[in-house]
Amino acid sequence: MLRDRACPQGGWNAGNGIVFGSALTPHTDTTAIALLALAENADPADVQGLNWLRAAFVKCSSAYSLAWFAIAFLMHQDRVLDRCIAYLHRALFSELSISNIETLSLAVIAINAVEGNENPFQVVI
Amino acid sequence: MNRRDWLIGSAAVTGSALTVRLQRRKDARDLRQKRSRIAILHADQYSDKLDELVYHGLRLFNLDIRGKSVLLKPNIVEYIPGKPVNTDTQLIGAAAEAFVRLDAASVTVGEGPGHDRDMDLLLHETGLGEQLVHRKIAFVDLNRDELIKTKLQSNYSALGHFVAPPNGSDIGFHRVHAESQNPSLVEGDAQHEKHVWHCAGMPLRLAQEHSPLGRNPRMHSRYLRNDPSSLRNR
Smallest Cα distance from B121 to chain A, Å:
5
Total structural domains within chain B: 2
Pair (B117, B20) in one structural domain: no
Interface touch A100/B117, C-beta < 8 Å = no
Interface touch A61/B121, C-beta < 8 Å = yes
Domain assignment present for A11: no
Pair (B17, B68) in one structural domain: no
Domain assignment present for A125: no
Interface pTM, i.e. ipTM: 0.84
Closest in B118, B133, B231 to A62, CB measured: B118
Task: Summarize pLDDT for B215-227 with one digit per residue, the tens.
Answer: 332 322 222 333 3
Confidence tier at B178 by pLDDT (50, 70, 90) = very low
Interface touch B120/A98, C-beta < 8 Å = yes
Total structural domains within chain A: 1
Pair (B80, B48) in one structural domain: yes
Pair (B86, B200) in one structural domain: yes
Does residue B185 surpass a pLDDT of 80? no
Cα separation of A105 and A110, whole Å? 9
Smallest Cα distance from B70 to chain A, Å:
21
Interface touch A103/B121, C-beta < 8 Å = no
Task: Summarize pLDDT for B112-142 with one digit per residue, the tens.
Answer: 888 888 888 899 899 999 999 999 998 988 8
Does residue B164 surpass a pLDDT of 80? no
Q: Looking at beta carbons, which residues of chain B come within 8 Å of A29?
A: 117-118
Contact B108, B196 (CB under 8 A): no
Pair (B41, B57) in one structural domain: yes
Contact B100, B150 (CB under 8 A): no
Nearest-Å Rg of the Cα atoms of chain A is 14
DSSP one-letter code for B144: T
pLDDT at B205: 42
Pair (B76, B180) in one structural domain: yes
- Better-scored residue on pLDDT, B79 or B155: B79
Pair (B105, B116) in one structural domain: yes
Q: Nearest to residue A15, comparing CAs of B78, B125, B142, B121?
A: B78
Domain assignment present for A7: no
Q: Looking at beta carbons, which residues of chain B come within 8 Å of A27?
A: 78, 115-118
Interface touch B120/A29, C-beta < 8 Å = no
A98 to chain B: nearest residue by CA? B225
Find the domain containing B5 and state its range.
1-30
Q: Classify A28 as helix, strand or coil.
A: helix
Smallest Cα distance from B123 to chain A, Å:
10
Pair (B42, B131) in one structural domain: yes
- Better-scored residue on pLDDT, B68 or B26: B68
Please calculate the CA angle A22-A25-A27 and round it to the nearest 5 degrees.
Answer: 145
Closest in A60, A98, A101 to B119, CB measured: A98
Domain assignment present for A44: yes
Does residue B110 surpass a pLDDT of 50? yes
Q: What is the pLDDT along chain A (125 residues), one digit of tens a residue?
A: 999 999 999 999 988 899 888 888 899 999 999 999 987 767 889 999 999 999 999 999 899 999 999 999 999 999 999 999 999 999 998 866 666 788 899 999 999 999 998 888 888 77
Pair (B12, B67) in one structural domain: no
Cα separation of A13 and A29, whole Å? 9
Smallest Cα distance from A125 to chain B, Å:
32
Domain assignment present for A98: yes
Pair (B16, B112) in one structural domain: no
Pair (B39, B24) in one structural domain: no
- Better-scored residue on pLDDT, B49 or B191: B49
Does residue B194 surpass a pLDDT of 60? no
Pair (B91, B106) in one structural domain: yes
Domain assignment present for A45: yes
Find the domain containing A49 and state its range.
18-116
